[in-house]
Every structure is written in C-alpha cells, then in structure tokens.
Amino acid sequence: MQLTVAIHVERKHTCVFEFSLVNCSSAPTTPLLFATLFSQLRLSGTTSQIAFAPSTVPNSPRRRVEFSADALRDNLRRLTAVGSRSLVIDLRCDAYGYGASWVRAAAELEGCDRFLTDDNPLEPIPPTTGELFGLSIGRPVATLIGEIVAVKSITSGESVSYGYTWTAQRTTQLALVSLGYADGVPRSGSNVASAQIGGASVPVVGRIAMDQLVLDVTNCSVVVGDNALFWSHPDEIAVWAGSATRDPLSLVAGLSWRVEREWIAE
C-alpha cells in the first residue's frame, strides 16, 4: 500500500507535506501508522520528519532518506531483550530526525514505556540511543539515497572538485551524486568517507560541495539514474561523523528540508 498525503498550508508560500507508506500491508499496524501520521501533522511547525518542499513539483534529482521499520524493530527487540522495561527511548530532536511519532509507536509495540522528550533538554542522551538506530551496532535504520546524475572518465593527473584536493593516479570513472553539505552530508567527509553502490564501497573523491559530491566508481558498474547509498554501514557512519568530532545522531538529525523522508515497513 502506498499512501501520499499532501496538505497545503497557506503561509508565506504554499508548503506540501507528503508521506509515503510503502508495502504497508499488515492490517493491525495500519491504523497505528495512520494515528502516528496525523499526530505528526499537528507537530508540523517543529518537526523535521516531514518532507518539506517549497513547491508541488516532484523532487528531482532524487534526494531521499529511507527508514526501515524492520531494522528499528530488530534493534528494539535486541535492546529490550537485554534491558527490557528499563530502556529509555530518546525522542528529543524529533527522535534525532527519525520521527518521534514513528519511533514512539514502534517502541510501544515492543513494550517500551519510558521516553525522553524535548521537555527534558538537560538529560544526557541514553547510551542505547545510537544502538536503537543502528549507528554503532545493530542494523542501520536510515539510509540516505542520492541520485547519480552524471558518470564520466578522467585520466591520470586530472583533479576533482573545488581546490583540486584529489588527483587521479590512473584512469578513473567518476559518478556525480546529487547530495551536498546543504542536504546535511558533512563536508568533513571529503576525500575520507565512502558510499555504497550495488553492494560495493566507493570512496568520496574531492571536496563535497553544497549540492553535489563525486564518487570514484572505477571498480563498479553504474549508470546515470542509479542510487548511491550513504550511512548504511556502521563503519562508514563513524567516518561520516568525523571520527568522533560529531555525534553520529546528528547525521540524520541534520538532513535538510530538501531530502524526502520515507518509512518502509514490510
């Protein structure tokens, strides 16, 4: 089942909020998902879970984050098996961009009833929060997706992106991806972080720009229109978080309005 709700809010300009529930066929959970959907709407002024776009035109090029309900459930079950009812679920910062209503609903299904909200800004982040979202161990709940908008070959000695900080040592196939630091992809990942394409790890080469970044795809087969996946492996997440210079929770929390959000449940 796919559901898209578009709501037009007349303010300075029209805003459209869209939700998609993909492959959501399980009858018992559907009303719950609807309930969380509409509780989310009332929070629209402050939440970051809602895809925000200043026009009704489809998002193109593609910039999307997919949240796996299965991964969240698996992580919850692992955490509740260890700590059961003592587990505190941190819903602050809209559950760090994962969507407080969605995360609360999933946690309640697993019997959790202790939550931290923005009313408690001073409470330390429970150490299980990163595991809840699969940022250190467990299954990563979020996968950031960018569209490959160009593929080109360069020869040895040619350089890539601003400042020419990376130079090819051999003939190299490059893929240009429609994500940059304005989308919330940290610029500190330039020349050190990597993405996944078709199961292969591919390095970021050159400086990450505001709206674009470049991957070295010499060792994999890609065509324009393919997806590049980010933050789908804990090892890669650590590098994107600047090797502990920033909290991994801030990655999804920092995704911009331009990135569509989508929860996927089987």
Partner 1 sequence: MTLHVDIDLSAFERNVAKLVNTAAPADVWIALKSHAYGHGMTELADNALRAGATGLAVLDIPAAVSLRAHGVTATLFAWLHGQETDFAEAVAQGIDIGVSTLDQLDAVAEAGRVQKVPARVHLKVDTGLHRNGFAESDWIAACSAAADHERFESIVVVGVWSHLADASEEADRIALSRFDTAIAAAESVGLKPSIRHIAASAAGFTNADARYDVVRFGILAYGVSPFSESSGQQLGLSPVMSLRSTAEEHDEATVLIHAGWHDGIPQNPQGAWVLVGGERCTITAVHPLFTLAERPAGFDDGSSVGIIGHGGPSAEDWASWTNTIGDEIVTGIPVTSRRVFGG
Contact residues toward partner 1 (CB under 8 A) are 12-13, 45-48, 52-55, 57-62, 92-93, 96, 118, 121-122, 125, 147, 149-150, 152-154, 158-164, 174, 176, 178, 180-182, 184, 187-188, 206, 209-212, 214, 224-225, 242, 245-247, 249-250, 253-254, 256-258
Q: Name the minimum Å distance from CB 31 to partner 1.
A: 28
Q: Cβ closer to partner 1: 92 or 261?
A: 92
Q: Name the minimum Å distance from CB 87 to partner 1.
A: 19
Rounded CA-CA distance 117/40 in Å is: 15
Q: Name the minimum Å distance from CB 173 to partner 1.
A: 11
Q: Name the minimum Å distance from CB 207 to partner 1.
A: 9
Residue type present at position 42: R
Q: Cβ closer to partner 1: 69 or 168?
A: 168
Q: What are phi and psi of 151, to 5 degrees?
A: -130, 130
Q: Which long-range contacts (CB under 8 A, 24 or more apart) does 241-246 make?
A: 241/186, 242/186, 242/188, 242/189, 245/188, 246/186
Rounded CA-CA distance 251/196 in Å is: 17
Tell me which residue of 37, 4, 61 sits closest to 183, measured CA to CA: 61
Three-state SS letters, 193-235: CEEEECCEEEEECCCCCCCCEEEECCCCCCCCCCEEEECCCHH
Q: Cβ closer to partner 1: 53 or 238?
A: 53
Omega of the bond leading into 61 within 30 degrees of 0 (cis): yes
Q: Name the minimum Å distance from CB 109 to partner 1.
A: 26
Q: Name the minimum Å distance from CB 164 to partner 1.
A: 4
Structure tokens at 121: 């800004």
Q: Is-contact 137 238, C-beta < 8 A?
A: no
Q: Cβ closer to partner 1: 24 or 215?
A: 215
Q: Cβ closer to partner 1: 69 or 216?
A: 216
Q: Is-contact 236 194, C-beta < 8 A?
A: yes
Q: Cβ closer to partner 1: 80 or 117?
A: 117
Rounded CA-CA distance 147/175 in Å is: 10
Helix (H) or strand (E) holding 152, with range, is strand 142-154
Q: Name the minimum Å distance from CB 204 to partner 1.
A: 13
Q: Cβ closer to partner 1: 124 or 199?
A: 124
